[in-house]
Amino acid sequence: MLAENELKALVTLLEDNDENVWQIAFNALSQTDVQQIPMLNDYLFEAVNTAEQRDRLEEAIDHIKVNHLSKQLVEWKNNGGKNLLSAMVTICQFKYPDLTEAYLIQKLEGLRLDAWLEFHYDLTSFEKVKILNYILFQLHGFKGNEANYLHPDNSFINRVLDTKAGNPISLSIIYMLLAQRLNVPVYGVNLPRHFIMAYVENEETETLQNFGEKQEISDLPIGDVKFYINAYNGGGVFNFDHLKKIMGDMDLEVKPEYYEPCTNTDIVRRVLMNLFNSYAHKNMKESKLIDKVLAAYNADGL
């Protein structure tokens, strides 16, 4: 990470008329840490004298965002994609570079504690989901952001945790992260146009006694889907026959990838695609940046 005086000196050099000079400064700035973006954004207003200098600095900031997001997510995926929260932090840092994993953990722990206080050892799977629904959608007021469905902030779970409004996948991710911290086996299902969740149960998860301890269930679902959950409508529960009807209404072929649990790497890809569509809908340049991240994520690794 560069010192503040070094950053400012490089920003000053972006004004130089000699391409060799400003290009060296540009390359150095493009490789700096994502956490220095807020300072660079301040320089856009405090230390920029020409349009060329501003354009170069903005492009350098964009490079930092793309490089950080691409490198971190590809590395995460190639290491197995086990910690979904970690990948969500990286995605949030695209717009909120100051965000830390500790902040999200603190938010989730507050939700987990509220749910844990309602749990006891002989709950059925439906009773567990009923408690999770109560905690998230009634006690804390999470809901679908119908009024501004395509806003990019719906894809950043830090903003969803703050505003209590999101899209189907962001609400599902928060639901899953909460459930799995209580050893409740809820996983994502990559249904087109409307992300949902599945409650996956086997003998091991049926008899888990340590719901108050650190997450111990696998990041990969093992067992049969008992029922499905729709986070966007307050945690509504439905069965496979209902899901097949939904797919029919959507003119979708009944494919396993539409009703079986997906991986964390699939979830991250879906979040990136949603983010791309949100920015593209608003004709924002960030759509091109996310498109580059998606290309790197899809081309490298698993």
pLDDT string in tens for the chain (302-residue length): 788 889 899 999 999 999 999 999 999 999 999 999 999 999 988 888 899 999 999 999 999 999 999 999 999 999 999 999 999 999 999 999 999 999 999 999 999 999 999 998 789 999 999 999 999 999 999 999 999 999 999 999 999 999 999 999 999 999 999 999 998 999 999 999 999 999 998 755 555 555 445 445 566 777 899 999 999 999 999 999 999 999 999 999 999 999 999 999 999 999 999 999 999 999 999 999 999 999 999 996 44
> Residue 95 contacts by C-beta under 8 Å, 6 or more apart in sequence?
152, 153, 156
pLDDT of 218: 64
pLDDT of 81: 92
Query: Which residue shows structure tokens 């924002």?
Result: 284
pLDDT of 206: 57
pLDDT in tens, 104-143: 999 999 999 999 999 987 899 999 999 999 999 999 999 9
pLDDT of 302: 42
> Residue 105 contacts by C-beta under 8 Å, 6 or more apart in sequence?
85
Evaluate whether 159 touches 130 at the Cβ level (below 8 Å): no
- Single out the residue of 260, 261, 257, 265 nearest to residue 301, CA to CA: 265
0.85 surpassed by pTM: yes
What is the CA angle 59-286-169, rounded to 5? Answer: 145
Give one word for 136, left, alpha or beta, with left for phi > 0 and alpha for psi -120 to 50.
Answer: alpha
pLDDT of 214: 46
E strands present in 29-118: none
The total number of residues shown for the chain amounts to: 302
